[in-house]
Amino acid sequence: MKKLINVNLIKSLGLEYLSLEEQEKIILHASDIIYDSIITRSIGKLDSKAKIELEFMLAHNPSSEEIGKFLYEQVPHLDRIAEEEITSFKKIALENFHTALQPTT
């Protein structure tokens, strides 16, 4: 699931001018934020049995791939949720970036 998050993030935010190292840091940080948003929204879509299964799974430190696989099996339209969260993150990031560039008086 985290691989999906990386889709054109640097280009979308207009940060191609940064060094590869800086781009990787941004992608890692952004991926974590978006991933958490997807998980939070997805949990709300689970029935009580699936929530118990997820709790059990989380108690055993699963990989993000294992969590993603479980959620893809349990949450209808998870791809759409992921796309919405990626779009939302990009919008907020761009707004904050432009606000930060505004001169202060």
Residue 61 sits in which domain range?
2-101
Q: What is the pTM of this model?
A: 0.76
- What pLDDT, on the 0 to 100 scale, is given for residue 47? 95
What does the DSSP assignment read for 9-69?
HHHHTT-TTS-HHHHHHHHHHHHHHHHHHHHHHHHTTS-HHHHHHHHHHHTT---HHHHHH
C-alpha–C-alpha distance, residues 54 and 68, integer Å: 11
Which DSSP letter does residue 104 get?
A: P
As for how many domains the chain has, the answer is 1
pLDDT in tens, 19-69: 889 888 888 888 889 989 999 999 999 999 999 999 999 999 999 889 989
